[in-house]
Amino acid sequence: MSGAAMDKDAIALAKLGYNQSFSRALGAFENFAASFSTIAFTVGLPQLFGYAMLTGGPLAAWINWIIVGCLALSTSLCLAEICSAMPTAGSIYFWSAKLGGDKHGPFLAWLTAWWNFFGWVVTSPAVQQGGTLMVVSALKIANPDVNIQPYHQFLLTTAGLLYGTLLNVSNEHVLKWFYRISSVLVLVLYLLFMIWVPAKAPAFQSREFLTTFINNTGFSDSYTWMIGLLFPAWTFYGYDASAHVAEETTNASRTAARGMWGAVAMSFFFSFPLLIVLIFCVQNIDDIIAYQYPVPIASLLVHVRASHETWVHVVLPFPRQNLGDRGAIAVLTVMFIVTTNCTAACMMSGSRIAYAISRDDVLPGSRIFHHVGANKLPNRAVIMMTVLGVLVSLPILGSSVAFQALASTATVAIDTSYAIPIFGRIFIAGESFKKGEWNLGAAGKPLGTLVITWISILFVCLCLPQLYPVDANNLNYCPALIGAITLISIFSWVLSGRNWYKGPQRLVTVEEAEALEREFAEKHESVGVEKA
């Protein structure tokens, strides 16, 4: 990207009130890959495949996937429009402040900051705990008598978080290649599922299996359908990652916006066929529903044993050995690698929002965490996310139900933070909203209204109990965790924030931004004269 484009990005950021602290080393693909690696549908979908079969079976799984996928794409389009106008690392939080106006903006920004920050704090250990459960499943396949202790899982989860830490405190060049490789690995795993698994399947389910509804929750069918929304919702969020690296991306006004919705669109496009293939390859639905392994997709992989020629063998020259135990372990290993990369990508988003809200003094200890190291990365914010991630991972070890509760919490917190700036864009800012280079035109308002309605419904559904009868072992702790962070944000606002916080600080004055723009224009005008 030319120096002129990078200067334009710095001027645009200065107009929003901030200096250029990061190096703009990321291009269009890396920005897209930031969200694509965070969504990581090839692990998000398998992680809760067993939950989907339990809460509605194949019918609810694929219908909910289409519904949530379309609505997630709609949400990403609405956020992309706002991102194009205001491409900053604070993204969701910053937008809420500006679109909420002088009266409501500070409080909405404060609330959004805490919700989005908390969502990313929870997401990283939740994702890595999912990876840990994959390793435990692989070990149980290799040796059914293996005794995995909770501290083993804690150490493995912590190791994954430390891997993410090392990547995120390296340098922009390493991160650039990480995004590229991580995205490729997502697609490698996709090919394993789409080609290798059906190639080894001894039989496929009939078309009627797609219309099978399974309810093993103890609740009514309609209730079960609602809580089944967690399955696709867990995958289709986190696309604000492209916005969080906007200050590190060239031509951010266009690139970050396209990265957001492009990652969702591609994930949706590829993930639906994957879901259908996995449903047709199910050999023993009872083992999957019974959670024979911590990650039920392991049961599907183990039972895929080719005993006759399938359609894939006709097209591709695959040997007809069983997938079985060794193949299942191999696929679970690749899933663990992709999951750990997803954790690192989530830590990137979390560290950027932590840095951004510390830049505006929202977090306790902001002076410590508002720091960019010599490597042009927010190293202290990364370390904070690691420490918090390790602490969050402690109570969920060894429990698939706890993992699902944490998944609900992360999804609710981040998705709800998405709704706040969209609400401000439509109902507060209205026509005063200045659109960026990429916008939705007249479709912005009706689409935004649909998204707000959808997120409100999702909020309620994901806070509901997931199994009946409800007891301490299967309680959905999502409402308690969401309530806790909401109370913390509101009480901190009432007791302190409302007295001094007026929204994002201007570290660059309007006059300084205008002077920078004039200097840029004069420089390129003189260059044009010289060329003439």
Q: Is 56 left (phi over 0), alpha (psi -120 to 50) or beta?
A: left
- Per-residue pLDDT, 306: 46
- Give the pLDDT mean for 111-123: 95
pLDDT at 236: 96
The token duo for 127 is: 């994702």
**Best CA proximity match to 435, nearest among 83, 12, 8, 95:** 83
Higher pLDDT, 407 or 294: 294
| For range 485-501, the mean pLDDT | 94
The per-residue pLDDT for 529 is 45
pLDDT at position 316, please?
A: 41
DSSP string, 377-414: S-HHHHHHHHHHHHHHHGGGTT-HHHHHHHHHHHHHHH
Question: Mean pLDDT across the stretch 196-209?
Answer: 91
Three-state helix/strand/coil letters over 421-434: HHHHHHHHHHHHCC
Q: What is the pLDDT of residue 400?
A: 58
Query: Each residue of 337-348: pLDDT tens digit?
Result: 999 999 999 999
Mean pLDDT of 482-489: 93
Q: What is the mean pLDDT of residues 238-242?
A: 95
| pLDDT tens by residue, 30-82 | 999 999 999 999 999 999 999 999 999 999 999 999 999 999 999 999 999 99
pLDDT for 4 equals 46
Average pLDDT on 243-250 reads 94
Mean pLDDT of 365-370: 91
374 exposure class (CB count in 10 Å sphere: 0-12, 13-18, 19+): exposed
**Bigger pLDDT: 106 vs 311:** 106
Alpha-carbon span 262 to 499, nearest angstrom: 41
The mean pLDDT value for 424-444 works out to: 93
pLDDT tier at 321 (50, 70, 90 boundaries)?
A: very low
**pTM score, two decimals?**
0.92
pLDDT value of position 320: 44
pLDDT on residue 310: 43
The per-residue pLDDT for 200 is 86
Of 178, 187, 180, 192, which Cα lies nearest the Cα of 301? 192
Residue 326 has pLDDT above 90, yes or no: no
* Residue 522 CA: distances (Å) to CA of 19, 426, 512, 525: 20, 38, 15, 5
pLDDT tens digits, one per residue of 265-280: 999 999 999 999 999 9
Mean pLDDT value of segment 189-208: 92
Residues whose CB is less than 8 angstroms from the CB of residue 493 and which lie 6 or more positions away in sequence, other chains included: 107, 110, 111, 501
93-110 pLDDT, tens digit each: 999 999 999 999 999 999
Give the pLDDT score at 311: 40
Q: What are the chain's domains?
A: 18-505 (1.20.1740.10)
Nearest to 36 by CA among 336, 348, 355: 348
- The reported pLDDT for the residue numbered 401 is 65
**The pLDDT of residue 117 is above 90:** yes
Q: Minimum mean pLDDT among 157-171, 285-299, 505-519: which range? A: 505-519
Q: Which residues lie below 8 Å from residue 352, measured CB to CB, with a gap of 6+?
A: 89, 244, 245, 378, 381
In 3-state terms, what secondary structure has residue 16?
A: coil
**Lookup: tokens for 199:** 């190639």
Q: Identify the pLDDT of residue 308.
A: 41
Compute the half-sphere exposure of residue 54: CA atoms within 13 Å on the CB side of its CA.
24
Q: Mean pLDDT over residues 467-471, rounded?
A: 79
Nearest CA among 146, 168, 170, 148 for reference residue 157: 148
